[in-house]
């Protein structure tokens, strides 16, 4: 090893630099100057001398040339080879930034530089970076004039793996070849080189390995010709291409996956129209080779944005290919992630007719028919751990057939009660043969003590892969801090406030760059409006938005308003087109929220916030437009920290607190890992914002900053330990109940619920069973015998209490319902007794006159104080809110009626207390009520009223979840309409137009496919541009749902223009009304718009037959077009 070349020996004395560390320092100094320029601090970047840049470029080219040269293949120490590639990539990228800024000055060298940069990234096993470099510095930026430049551009695109670009732009070259226009010998050589890249692209698409040999052979022959003619540039290009081919082929989908997956499956990836995938990243290939497709369990620890989702997708495909009726479960930490993961999986599985579903509920069963249908028709389900536990408790057939459990973001095993549940679920799967001999896959960006987890799952049956250095994008970490001073001048109504703030960037090898931000002078008339952390985050966001999308983490929703208000005073860079789009989005959000709500005003300025309780339609539109880069700055709580995939350039962390607790280093690393997403950025910025107290000394503040940096930013991730929550549980169980806080009580209830389930399942009968379960916990890997004995003792006491209390309920079926509920035993008994009393009131129906039966008020009063369902409101208030929610009151109406216009309180109440808690509670209530009613049915003859009562009861959880009162509406929402607020409008228009009260789904789909949504002022219906687009997309998606036979009759509007004036749009619904009192024609039919404007009449020759359809309610009419001055409509007749 001592004879091998190292980065130290190769860099020593290069162009006057002592070593590679000094080179690194210099390139970081340049990066620092570039950052200051991008943040609009100064233009010191212009002080960099050209000779400096030239030296660095020469160093990078020299080092790059050595590491790709076969002569040095075995002479360079492997770790140094990797470090050299990283150094070269960093040099090339920073030079690209400077050259692009002053393109006119450097344009003669620009193309050559970008070629080197892209080649270095691609061959240096960072294809994601090479792709972004091409998009950022080449595509659409360089002006191409000559045939030579065109060829070089396409070679650049090939190296960047932008094969779509090559395919789209190759025509000009091929036409020139066909015409014989290329006469210059050098261009002919370039053409020959280019043609070999087309062969390679063909290989990546088809897997035909003969193309590789042909291409390499041709390149070798061309290189010999170039050597004979002294074409040195072309010699170097061929050298790069051959090296690139070797690296790319080794990682190609065909080479890596060919032995494991069918060619048809691989084609789904390489032929994907939106995101074709031709090769894996280096570490992904290593994961596949690390027994990914064997029956061993897998623990995979790689950074955020390193392609964990693809690994999960490949594992699922292999399992489903091998076993025809196998099922898979993908577990995510939050409901917010469900749809994203489904969309990712569906991009491939959907093409194979393998259905992927999300079960959005937790322990609640929103409706057994709906859920069973989802499970029966799916091969893969995506759930949270609560839903998985519910399915396991119910012993669902889907779980029995499961061959694969994937647990994403598995570091959450250390997160309180939910982490406890996660640990117990994995333990149950291990211990009790749950599933069909399933494989377990654990994914995490922060799981450094991976060997402890491997020991837990089973060292002999588990394969682990850990690589924390495979992140495709670099992260630049910094601390922003501010100090506020407000001189006291006795009694006054005016205050002068001075804000001094700084940004300290931390580079590798102890490099530090300090940026002094401009001092802020503020005059206040109200001392309570002093400069806060929200203001500082807004100031930082304004500057970092110059670089790209900014995500700001705030500890709670109370910070949003002041942050948004502070941001609205800024002027972000927004194009004219973006401003128009933002106006449309704001208009759409205003239809759900108040027009003057601060979120609506913020969106107009390119700013928004996101948290779990926002209405789904508002969350969705914010996510879509932040992802597209239209919304520039997004504030969020931890909802976006758990795996949501957004193109985030900068993350600003505004607090080290979350939910009343301090962020752990593991939580922090997972949160900031979102900065700098692969395939969109080459680097991401992490800013931890801190307040500095002016009364403390500078030395004290410096020590504080250094400590925070070492604990959070510069921490070695290998020093982070992800622990079991059970150790904390033991300490909590030792406390008196009066000393417990809310989270500790929740931890005990979760454990009690799990033990209740195990006890009722008969798994805690013998003393040995306690030892078996405890020793199967992750907790036991590091626990002492004393800790284990303490847990065993506490558990035995809990089991004894459970046995005693549950003995009062003799019905074993009722016990089963309670143990499946997800509630602790005490809560289960309280809800059981409340339902018994409710049942004895002989409720005759669930609904009365389009409202819930008032008997539910007393039931709600009995249930609302159960800890899992606790709501700090009286039963009647809750009852009224539920009624309004399920009977299609809008958010606005509910807000005004019950929350005094406080929209934030309104949406929090609906999300937490109706959509979540009420759905869960009514799910349990229904199951218990059904059991009681079925006992009665056994003693009485068949009673249709009982059946109707049970049916209505069974859908009540779903009505709470979706905010509707009709099962057909649920199907419409799930068929792709998604947005409840839009459905309310559609529902009103459908009833107005068809005069139908009861939904017929086929009738609705037929109607929806023909109708354009319009405003109806007297019904307060306003359709935004965004909603019109959603409706058009929905119309296209439901064409396959239509089963009815329809006749279409052309009808003109006679007398149009003689009555009310109205501009008609294509597809606009029109109403037909028989006018028997008409003095000219007793069959006369007048035509009105939905807002009751008189438009004209049906032609006399058609009135008699059309009247039959109107009376039988089998027809409706829409406007179609203007033809020769006539307003022509289509009458849709259902056969």
User: pLDDT tens, 622-679?
Assistant: 999 999 999 999 999 876 656 567 889 999 999 998 877 888 898 899 889 889 988 8
pLDDT, position 1040: 78
Task: Kindly report, residue by residue over 571-609, the tens digit of the pLDDT.
Answer: 999 999 999 999 999 999 999 988 999 999 999 999 999
Shared-domain flag, residues 792 and 823: no
Distance of CA 563 to the CA centre of its chain: 23
Q: What is the mean pLDDT of residues 392-407?
A: 95
- The closest alpha carbon to 336, from 555, 553, 590, 638, belongs to 638
Domain holding 749, by residue range, is 726-807
The pLDDT, as a whole number, for residue 61 is 95
Mean per-residue pLDDT, 1061-1068: 92
Which residues lie across from 689 on neighbouring strands?
A: 480
**Number of residues in the chain:** 1135
How many domains does one find in the chain? 7
Judge whether 675 and 669 are in contact, CB under 8 Å: no
Which residue do the tokens 């929740």 mark?
Answer: 746
- Tokens standing for residue 557: 């929703």
783, 807, 831: which is the final residue of a domain? 807
Q: What is the pLDDT of residues 796-832, one digit of tens each?
A: 999 999 999 999 999 999 999 999 999 999 999 999 9
Rounded mean pLDDT, 1008-1014:
93
Q: Which own/partner pairs from 591-594 qualify as long-range (CB within 8 Å, at least 24 positions apart)? A: 591/981, 591/1022, 591/1024, 591/1027, 592/617, 592/618, 592/890, 592/891, 592/892, 592/981, 593/618, 593/891, 593/892, 593/903, 594/892, 594/895, 594/901, 594/903
Tell whether the model's pLDDT for residue 211 goes beyond 50.
yes
Same domain, 917 and 1001: no
Q: What is the pLDDT of residue 845?
A: 87
999 has a pLDDT exceeding 70? no
User: What's the pLDDT tens digit per position in 706-735?
Assistant: 999 999 999 887 788 899 999 999 999 999
The pLDDT value given to residue 560:
95
Q: How far is CA 563 from CA 569, 596, 1057, in A?
A: 10, 16, 53
pLDDT higher than threshold 80 for residue 284: yes
DSSP secondary structure string for all residues of 871-910: -SS-HHHHHHHHHHHHTT--HHHHHHHHSTT-HHHHHHHI
Token readout for 399 is 């779980």
Per-residue pLDDT at 491:
61
1012 and 1089 co-located in one domain: yes
pLDDT in tens, 474-495: 999 999 999 988 766 556 667 7
Q: Give residue 820's pLDDT.
A: 94
- Does the pLDDT of residue 1124 top 50, yes or no? yes
**For residue 1082, how many C-alpha atoms fall within 13 Å in the half-sphere facing its CB?**
0
Six-digit token pair at 314?
Answer: 């490949």
Residue 672 lies in a domain: yes
**219 and 306, same structural domain?**
no
Asked if the structure places residue 664 within a domain, the reply is yes
| Cα gap 255→249, rounded to integer Å | 7
C-alpha closest to that of 159 among 95, 103, 237: 237
CB atoms within 10 A of CB 705: 17
Contact 235, 226 (CB under 8 A): yes
CA distance 338 to 380: 12
Whether 771 shows a pLDDT value over 50: the answer reads yes
Is the sign of the CA dihedral 1071, 1075, 1076, 1081 positive or negative?
Answer: negative
C-alpha 774, offset from chain centre: 35
Residue for token pair 């920290």: 641
Collapsing DSSP to helix, strand or coil, 625 comes out as helix
d(CA 952, CA 1071): 33
CB 250 within 8 A of CB 138: no
Q: Kindly report the CA angle at 181 between 177 and 185, in degrees rounded to 5?
A: 85
pLDDT at 183 exceeding the cut of 90: no
pLDDT computed for residue 901 by the predictor = 92
Whether the predicted pLDDT of 408 surpasses 50: yes
Residue 265 lies in a domain: no
Query: CA-to-CA distance for 58 and 60, rounded, in angstroms?
Result: 5
Q: Are residues 311 and 460 in the same domain?
A: yes
Span 380-408, mean pLDDT? 95
Same domain, 707 and 688: yes
Tell me how far the alpha carbon of residue 230 is from its chain's centroid: 53
At 693, which CATH number? 3.40.50.300
DSSP state, residue 1053: -
pLDDT value at 562 more than 70: yes
User: What pLDDT is recorded for position 233?
Assistant: 93
Report the DSSP pairing between strands 512-524 and 474-485: unpaired
For residue 743, tell me if it sits in a domain.
yes
- 958 and 849, same structural domain? yes
Q: Which residue has the higher pLDDT, 1100 or 695?
A: 1100
Residue 262 located in a structural domain = no
| 515 and 638 co-located in one domain | yes
Instruction: Give the C-alpha separation, 648 to 549, whole Å.
Output: 5
Residue 970 lies in a domain: no
Residues 6+ apart with CB under 8 A from 116: 57, 60, 61, 64, 92
- Straight-line distance from the first to the last Cα atom of the chain, in angstroms, rounded to the nearest whole number: 85
Query: For residue 362, what pLDDT is reported?
Result: 79
Residue 573 sits in the same domain as residue 606: yes
Burial of 945 (0-12, 13-18, 19+ CB in 10 A): exposed
What does the pLDDT read at residue 978? 79
Which tokens go with 805?
């209390």
Neighbours of 839 (CB within 10 A): 17
Rounded-to-integer distance, Cα 905 and Cα 888, Å: 19
Average pLDDT on 41-60 reads 92
Window from 150-159, 492-501, 778-787 with minimum mean pLDDT: 492-501
Report residue 1111's pLDDT band, with 50, 70 and 90 as the boundaries. Answer: low
Q: Which helix (H) or strand (E) holds 236?
A: helix 232-250
Which helix (H) or strand (E) element contains residue 457? helix 450-457
Residue partners of 532: CB distance under 8 A and separation at least 6: 562
| Stretch among 78-92, 148-162, 499-513, 945-959 having the lowest mean pLDDT | 945-959
Same domain membership, residue 434 and residue 560: no
Q: Tell me, what DSSP letter sits at residue 210?
A: H
- Say how many CA atoms lie within 13 Å of 1121 toward its Cβ: 3
Lowest-confidence segment of 329-338, 845-854, 1036-1045, 1066-1075 by average pLDDT: 1036-1045
What pLDDT sits at residue 294? 93
Q: Is the pLDDT of residue 356 over 60?
A: yes
What does the alpha-carbon distance between residue 53 and residue 38 come to, in Å, rounded to a whole number? 19
pLDDT of residue 453: 96
Distance CA 431, CA 433 (A): 6
CA gap 217, 213 in Å, rounded: 6
Which of 217, 250, 283 finishes a domain?
250
> Would you call 280 helix, strand, or coil by DSSP?
coil
pLDDT at 1: 42
Phi, psi for 995 (deg, rounded to 5): 60, 30
- Note whether 427 and 413 are within 8 A (CB): no
d(CA 485, CA 500): 8
278 and 136, same domain (yes or no): no
503 φ, ψ (degrees, to nearest 5): -125, 120
Measured distance CA(1093)–CA(1127) in Å, rounded: 15
Task: Report the alpha-carbon distance of residue 364 to residue 964 in Å, rounded.
Answer: 17
Residue from 312, 711, 285, 671 nearest 467 by CA: 285
How far is residue 125's CA from residue 25's CA, in Å, rounded to a whole number? Answer: 24
Q: Which residues contact 219 (CB under 8 A, 6 or more apart)?
A: 193, 196, 238, 241, 242
Q: How far apart are CA 289 and CA 228, in angstroms?
A: 42
- List 381's β-bridge partners, or say none: 329, 357
Comparing 487-491, 848-852, 935-939, which segment has the lowest mean pLDDT? Answer: 487-491
In this predicted model, what pLDDT tens digit does every residue of 945-967 receive, in sequence order?
Answer: 778 888 888 999 999 999 999 88
**Co-location of 942 and 1001 in the same domain:** no
- Give me the pLDDT at residue 411, please: 93
**What does the CA dihedral 91, 92, 97, 98 come to, rounded to 10 degrees?**
70
Q: Edge-to-edge, what's the strand order for the sheet holding 402-407?
A: 356-358, 380-383, 327-331, 402-407, 439-444, 297-301, 462-466
User: What is the percent of the chain with per-residue pLDDT over 90, rounded to a whole number?
Assistant: 72
Domain's final residue, options 911, 945, 965: 965
Three state DSSP letters for 647-715 = CECEEEECCCEECCEECCHHHHHHHHCCECCCCCCCEEEEEEEEEECCCCCHHHHHHHHHHHHHHHHCC
User: What's the CA gap between 542 and 564, in Å, rounded?
Assistant: 12
Range of lowest pLDDT (330-334, 479-483, 528-532, 1108-1112)? 1108-1112
The C-alpha atoms of residue 262 and residue 268 are separated, in whole angstroms, by 10
Q: Give per-residue pLDDT as tens, 882-892.
A: 999 999 999 99
Tokens of 868: 């899992």
Task: Give pLDDT, residue 998.
Answer: 62
């Amino acid at each position: 090893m001592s004879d091998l070349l190292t980065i130290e020996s190769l860099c020593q004395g290069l162009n006057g630099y002592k070593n590679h560390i000094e080179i690194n320092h210099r390139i970081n100094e340049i990066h620092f100057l570039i950052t200051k320029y991008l943040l609009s601090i100064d233009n010191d970047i212009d002080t960099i001398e050209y000779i400096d840049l030239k030296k660095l470029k020469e160093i990078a080219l020299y080092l790059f040339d050595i590491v790709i040269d076969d002569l040095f293949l075995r002479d360079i120490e492997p770790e140094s080879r990797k470090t050299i590639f990283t150094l070269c990539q960093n040099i090339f990228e920073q030079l690209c930034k400077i050259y692009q800024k002053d393109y006119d000055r450097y344009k003669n060298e620009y193309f050559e530089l970008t070629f080197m940069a892209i080649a270095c990234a691609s061959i240096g096993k960072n294809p994601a970076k090479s792709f972004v470099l091409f998009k950022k510095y080449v595509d659409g930026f360089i002006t191409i004039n000559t045939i030579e430049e065109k060829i070089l551009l396409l070679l650049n695109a090939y190296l960047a793996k932008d094969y779509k670009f090559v395919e789209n732009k190759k025509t000009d070259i091929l036409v020139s070849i066909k015409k014989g226009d290329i006469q210059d010998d050098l261009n002919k050589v370039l053409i020959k080189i280019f043609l070999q890249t087309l062969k390679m692209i063909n290989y990546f698409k088809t897997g035909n390995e003969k193309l590789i040999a042909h291409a390499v052979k041709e390149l070798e022959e061309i290189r010999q010709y170039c050597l004979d003619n002294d074409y040195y540039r072309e010699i170097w290009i061929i050298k790069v291409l051959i090296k690139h081919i070797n690296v790319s082929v080794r990682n190609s989908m065909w080479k890596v996956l060919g032995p494991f997956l069918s060619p048809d499956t691989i084609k789904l990836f390489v032929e994907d129209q939106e995101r074709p995938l031709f090769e894996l990243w280096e570490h992904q290939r290593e994961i596949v080779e690390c027994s990914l497709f064997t029956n061993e369990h897998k623990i995979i620890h790689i950074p955020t944005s390193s392609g964990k989702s693809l690994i999960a997708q490949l594992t699922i495909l292999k399992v489903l290919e091998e076993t025809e009726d196998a099922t898979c479960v993908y577990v995510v930490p939050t409901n917010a992630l469900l749809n994203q993961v489904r969309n990712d999986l569906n991009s491939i599985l959907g093409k194979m007719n393998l259905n992927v579903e999300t079960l959005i509920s937790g322990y609640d069963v929103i409706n057994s028919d709906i859920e069973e249908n989802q499970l029966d028709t799916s091969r893969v389900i995506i759930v949270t751990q609560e839903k998985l536990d519910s399915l396991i408790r119910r012993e669902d057939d889907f779980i029995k057939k499961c061959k694969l459990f994937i647990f994403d973001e598995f570091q959450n095993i250390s997160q309180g009660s939910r982490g406890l549940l996660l640990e117990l679920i994995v333990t149950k799967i291990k211990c009790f043969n749950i599933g069909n001999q399933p494989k377990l896959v654990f994914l995490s960006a922060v799981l450094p003590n991976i060997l402890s987890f491997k020991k837990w799952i089973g060292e002999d049956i588990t394969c682990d892969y850990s690589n924390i250095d495979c992140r495709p994008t670099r992260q630049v970490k910094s601390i922003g801090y501010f100090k506020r001073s407000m001189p006291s001048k006795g009694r006054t109504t005016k205050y002068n406030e001075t804000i001094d703030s700084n940004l300290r960037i931390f580079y590798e090898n102890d490099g530090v760059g300090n940026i002094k931000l401009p001092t802020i002078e503020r005059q206040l008339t109200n001392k309570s409006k002093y400069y806060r952390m929200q203001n500082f985050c807004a100031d930082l966001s304004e500057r970092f938005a110059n670089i790209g999308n900014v995500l700001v983490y705030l500890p709670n929703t109370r910070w949003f308003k002041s942050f948004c208000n502070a941001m609205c005073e800024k002027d972000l860079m927004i194009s004219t087109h973006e401003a128009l789009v933002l106006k449309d989005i704001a208009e759409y959000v205003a239809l759900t929220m108040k027009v003057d709500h601060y979120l609506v005003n913020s969106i107009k300025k390119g700013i928004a916030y996101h948290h779990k309780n926002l209405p789904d339609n508002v969350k969705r539109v914010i996510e879509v437009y932040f992802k597209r880069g239209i919304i520039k700055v997004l504030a969020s709580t931890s909802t976006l920290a758990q795996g949501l995939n957004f193109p985030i350039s900068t993350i600003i962390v505004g607090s080290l607190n979350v939910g009343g607790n301090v962020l752990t280093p593991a939580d922090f690393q997972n949160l900031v890992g979102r900065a700098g997403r692969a395939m969109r950025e080459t680097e991401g910025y992490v800013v931890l914002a801190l307040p500095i107290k002016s009364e403390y000394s500078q030395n004290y503040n410096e020590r504080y900053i250094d400590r925070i940096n070492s604990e959070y930013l510069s921490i070695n991730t290998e020093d982070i330990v992800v622990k079991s929550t059970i150790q904390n549980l033991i300490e909590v169980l030792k406390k008196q109940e009066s000393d417990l806080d809310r989270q500790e009580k929740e931890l005990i209830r979760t454990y009690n619920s799990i033990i209740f389930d195990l006890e009722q399942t008969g798994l805690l009968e013998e003393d040995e069973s306690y030892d078996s379960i405890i020793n199967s916990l992750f907790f036991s890997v590091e626990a002492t015998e004393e800790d284990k004995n303490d847990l065993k003792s506490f558990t035995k006491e809990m089991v004894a209490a459970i046995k005693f209390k549950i003995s009062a309920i003799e019905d074993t079926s009722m016990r089963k319902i309670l143990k499946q509920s997800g509630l602790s035993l005490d809560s289960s008994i309280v809800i059981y007794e409340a339902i018994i009393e409710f049942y004895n009131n002989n409720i005759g129906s669930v609904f009365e006159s389009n409202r819930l039966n008032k008997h539910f008020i007393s039931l709600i009063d009995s249930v609302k104080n159960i800890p899992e369902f606790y709501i700090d409101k009286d039963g009647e208030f809750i009852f009224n809110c539920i009624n309004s929610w399920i009977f299609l009151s809008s958010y606005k109406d509910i807000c005004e009626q019950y929350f005094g216009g406080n929209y934030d309180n309104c949406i929090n109440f609906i999300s937490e207390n109706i959509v979540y808690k009420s759905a869960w509670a009514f799910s349990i209530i229904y199951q218990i009520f059904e059991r009681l009613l079925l006992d009665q049915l056994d003693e009485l003859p068949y009673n249709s009223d009982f059946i109707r009562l049970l049916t209505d009861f069974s859908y009540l959880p779903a009505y709470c979840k979706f905010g509707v009162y009709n099962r057909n509406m649920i199907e419409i929402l799930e068929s792709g309409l998604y947005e409840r607020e839009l459905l309310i409008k559609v529902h009103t228009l459908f009833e107005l137009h068809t005069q139908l009260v009861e939904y017929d789904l086929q009738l609705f789909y037929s109607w929806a496919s023909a109708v354009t949504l319009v405003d109806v002022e007297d019904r307060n219906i306003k359709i935004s541009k965004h909603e019109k687009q959603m409706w058009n997309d929905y119309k296209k998606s439901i064409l396959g749902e239509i089963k009815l036979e329809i006749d279409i009759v052309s009808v003109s509007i006679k007398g149009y223009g003689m009555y009310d004036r109205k501009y008609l749009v294509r597809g606009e619904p029109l109403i037909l009304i028989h006018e028997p009192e008409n003095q000219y024609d007793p069959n006369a039919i007048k035509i009105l718009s939905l807002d009751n404007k008189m438009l004209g009449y049906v032609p006399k020759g058609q009135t008699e037959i059309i009247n039959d359809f109107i009376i039988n309610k089998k027809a409706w009419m829409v406007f179609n077009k203007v033809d020769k001055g006539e307003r022509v409509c289509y009458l849709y007749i259902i056969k």
